[in-house]
Amino acid sequence: MFYRECGQFKSGYAADQAIFPILQDKIAMGVLLAVAFIVVPLVATEYWLGSILIPFLILSLAAIGLNILTGYAGQLSLGSAAFMAVGAFAAYNFALRLPMLPLVVDFILAGVVAAAVGILFGLPSLRIKGFYLAVATLAAQFFITWGLTRFGWFSNNSASGVITAPRIMMFGYELTSASSRYLLTLSIVAVFALLAKNMVRSQIGRAWMAIRDMDIAAEVIGIKMLQTKLLAFAVSSFYCGVAGALWAFLYLGTVDAQAFDLNRSFEILFMIIIGGVGSILGSFLGAAFIVLLPIFLNVVAGLFGSSLHADTASHFEVMIFGALIIFFLIVEPHGLARLWQITKEKLRLWPFPH
């Protein structure tokens, strides 16, 4: 009887130990969202809201899209910025030609258009993979950018190809302040991040990870390669398309294909490498690092006065990016997300480690 009761006690204790970290994470996430929605708009300046937090959130959304495709489905892509451009121009044309549609609907439809384009360029993944698939998506980057600048219909026949985004109207009110645009961006990103988190935990998420780990074994156990891979491209492109629409409407205020060049695609790729491949949290950590690093370098440049010029700081930025990518690929391939997970585990045991 005593041993049976001890065994029940141990099993109950183990269950509590498994549930407690989950409750901690949910409480921490609730507190973080409360701070982001309530405290940040009250204390942050217009500069921080409009120039730092909004691009951080939008780039996090784009990184989530690429992480779904590369981190979870194992399909390498170098065309994320091209799908952002598709979303930006699609949202502009929906807002221009169908003004009766709400702005959020324009963003969702822009994501759908980007998803359709993503499926088209995802077809080569059925025959090729790895480096060759990366080259195919790189071709998509150049082709989409050329198409958006070559055909004037997409930019409403603008002579320069750069167009001003329509006014941002929500429920009859125009969003002109940085705090209102920040709250709208935060709401959209929070919803889509939650959807992505649940998606990768679902059956389709497990199918993506099975293809990533061993595609031949996944096909043997009955996973349909065609639908699963194309769905990964569609979902990834949808997220990038919505991010592109937010970038054009809520951050830049203009729609320009040159804002979504190859450097932007590499920037998003660096985010998931540094933040953590196959991690929704890593997408946010990588985006935060990419956005905050130039600010940190500017502060360092200010400390050194005129001895550190802007071009030198930009060169340091590129060097640091490269060094960190090599570091994480060698030392910790799962990036900042894994380091944060290890830190949490140690803090839960501190100061009484087992």
Number of domains in the chain: 1
In contact, 209 and 70? CB cutoff 8 Å:
no
In contact, 285 and 335? CB cutoff 8 Å:
yes
Sign of the CA dihedral with 264 first, then 270, 272, and 277 last: positive
CA distance 51 to 250: 11
- For the chain, give the mean pLDDT: 84
DSSP letter assigned to residue 162: -
The span from the first CA to the last CA of the chain, in angstroms, equals 28
Query: Does some domain include residue 55?
Result: yes
Of the candidates 179, 176, 175, the one whose C-alpha atom is nearest the C-alpha of residue 40 is 179
| Per-residue tokens: 2 | 């005593």
For residue 9, the model assigns a pLDDT of: 43
- What does the pLDDT look like over 91-114, one tens digit per residue? 999 988 888 888 899 999 999 999
| Per-residue tokens: 275 | 């933040």
Query: Does some domain include residue 277?
Result: yes
Query: Does some domain include residue 3?
Result: no
Query: Does some domain include residue 206?
Result: yes
| Domain interval for residue 323 | 39-349
**pLDDT bracket for residue 2 (50, 70, 90):** very low
Query: Does some domain include residue 27?
Result: no
Of the candidates 111, 66, 45, 57, the one whose C-alpha atom is nearest the C-alpha of residue 245 is 111
Query: Does some domain include residue 334?
Result: yes
- What does the pLDDT look like over 128-187, one tens digit per residue? 777 788 888 888 889 998 988 888 888 877 766 677 877 787 767 777 888 999 999 999
